[in-house]
Structure 1
């Protein structure tokens, strides 16, 4: 997993294909982007390769990638908001539970790492 994640290209592709109705073309570049993005959101390389065998399944793969990015982001941001609110109210255990709840369900490694970092900050008294 690379340190720096750039989901702008996959978001742009999803916008064009899934929102604006542009046809999905499985060029080498598009296949590489879908493979890379699938791995970044915890879709196995085998699943991605299977999906790239047809346009319809590649489109479903693109939808799943976009959904995992959106869901993970929303889940983390909402948990952080609640955690900060709980912290301000003096409930550090409650704030910690918010991050633990994210880790219990999150599949995207990037968002898992973010939640883990917040927990580490809590443990170090930096939160």
Structure 2
């Protein structure tokens, strides 16, 4: 899935989660179910887990929060890691720069963020 396609789904997830966090109840419309169903695998939530969560508003709300959490935390982790990696690379510490990406890969589950970290390792001359 391309970054554009991800943002086409991740942005509505953020907006929906914002509304729910502000007290608006999640309404499980066909559109909301489709969004959650489509977005879950992009953050490494298995189809069966997502389907099970879509059986009630309470579990679907939990799924929504988890999708948003993975998007947000992964983005922050990757941004911090990339900043450190570039700083270390520019200072001539290629091993330290690689280590930043290895540390992200050790904990990151979102495939898009993992792909970015792996790509950076390749650019630095290390293939995982």
TM-score by length of 2: 0.91
2:14 is aligned with 1:15: no
Q: Between Structure 1 and Structure 2, which shows a larger proportion of helix residues?
A: 2
2:49 is aligned with 1:50: no
Query: Where do 5+ consecutive residues of structure 1 fail to align?
Result: none
**Matched length:** 122
Separation (CA, whole Å) in 1 of partners of 2:85 and 2:116: 13
Query: Where do 5+ consecutive residues of structure 2 fail to align?
Result: none
Separation (CA, whole Å) in 1 of partners of 2:123 and 2:24: 44
User: What do residues 48-102 of structure 1 show as CA deviations (whole Å, max 9, x unaligned)?
Assistant: 0111111111110011001000110011011111111111221110000100111
Match for residue 97 of structure 2 among 92, 95, 99: 95
Match for residue 65 of structure 1 among 61, 64, 67: 67
For 2:2, the equivalent position in structure 1 comes to: 3
Separation (CA, whole Å) in 2 of partners of 1:113 and 1:11: 22
Separation (CA, whole Å) in 1 of partners of 2:71 and 2:45: 12
For 1:85, the equivalent position in structure 2 comes to: 87
- Report deviation, 1:3: 2.1
Q: Give the aligned CA root-mean-square deviation in angstroms.
A: 1.2
TM-score by length of 1: 0.91
Q: After TM superposition, where is structure 1 displaced by more than 4 Å over at least 4 residues in a row? A: none
Separation (CA, whole Å) in 2 of partners of 1:43 and 1:26: 19
